Structure 1
Amino acid sequence: MNSYIEKYRGIHPGIVLERELKRRAIKKHPFALSIHEYPQTLNAITKGRRSLNTALALKIEDKLGLEGGTLAVFQTYFNIQKEKNKLPTNKPNMSMLRKSLFWDTDIQKID
């Protein structure tokens, strides 16, 4: 499982689920009905528009024969990555510098 997690770390679990369903040639609509979920819910998850809760992840893993917690771990890593992207970067505020100080340099390109 570790190599599987490292391969898909930070990717939305719905995308991983979509790939797994395609690989097994399983259609989403009948699969959703087989796990007693709405097809719209499964479609939103596979498109990355909705997060995957733990209960649904366990149902999907059980039906597909995946190791328990795999999709839930993918969701956790995805949430961590999303929060990291929200953190401010440590770039200085270059708008406070006068352009005449750097007359020969494009201020937008300064690190």
Structure 2
Amino acid sequence: MEMSLEKYKGIHPGLILDRELKKRKLKKRPFALSLPEYPQTINDITKGKRNLTPEVSLKIDRALGLAEGTMFLLQAYHAIKVAQLKEQTKLHPDLTLFRKALFWDTDMNKLDWEKQYKPIITRIFERGDSGEKQVIIDFYGKDKVEEVAGSYSVSSRLPIFSQHK
């Protein structure tokens, strides 16, 4: 298998393995037993439910005639992509959970969710529903929300201000 790693970066190596096995007309169970590995392990890997270990990766590389480390390198690229996605979600909450009408006057993608937390929290607690308020509490934490909104009620439309800042 001639493999250009560039086009496979970020894809779970199990999906690539599954494709390669189908291309070679190899069944997963006999392939797994030839490694020797548990068939369930290879099945979970090909479904993207389990990551490759260095040991299993070397066995697969040898069995498919790949350069040593190829599959594990793909696992590393996948892990990097997963970490990047996690990092991006830390910059802001899932924006699909907010109604567009809440931020009708601005592009939500351009908001700096850390620097502009006070107006964002205020707006959500003035106009948001209970689900949107909960997203903000989960993202910023109760302490930060209480700092801005005072004592609040997630179920009501308006915050209950016990302190004014």
TM over 0.5: yes
1:49-68 correspondence runs (5 A)? 49-68=49-68
Match of 1:23 in 2: 23
Match of 1:86 in 2: 86
TM-score by length of 1: 0.80
Unmatched 5+ residue regions in structure 1?
100-111
User: How far is the alpha carbon of 1:50 from its aligned partner?
Assistant: 0.3
Residue of 120, 124, 142 corresponding to 1:95: 120
Evaluate the alpha carbon distance shift between residue 5 and residue 25 of structure 1 in structure 2; reply closer, same or farther with a 3 A threshold: same
User: How far is the alpha carbon of 1:72 from its aligned partner?
Assistant: 0.4
Match of 2:45 in 1: 45
For the pair shown, the structure with the greater C-alpha radius of gyration is 2
| Paired letter, 1:89 | L
User: How far is the alpha carbon of 1:68 from its aligned partner?
Assistant: 1.2
Q: In structure 2, what is the Cα distance between the partners aligned to 1:51 and 1:61? A: 15
User: How far is the alpha carbon of 1:97 from its aligned partner?
Assistant: 5.0
* Structure 2 residue matching 1:29: 3-state secondary structure: helix
User: How far is the alpha carbon of 1:4 from its aligned partner?
Assistant: 1.3
For the aligned residues, what is the CA RMSD? 2.2
Q: In structure 2, what is the Cα distance between the partners aligned to 1:71 and 1:89? A: 31
Match of 1:9 in 2: 9
* Structure 1 residue matching 2:66: 3-state secondary structure: coil
Q: In structure 1, what is the Cα distance between the partners aligned to 2:123 and 2:41? A: 52
Evaluate the alpha carbon distance shift between residue 5 and residue 92 of structure 1 in structure 2; reply closer, same or farther with a 3 A threshold: same
Deviations 1:10-68 (A, max 9, x none): 00000010011011000000000000100000000000000000111000110110111
| Paired letter, 2:121 | M
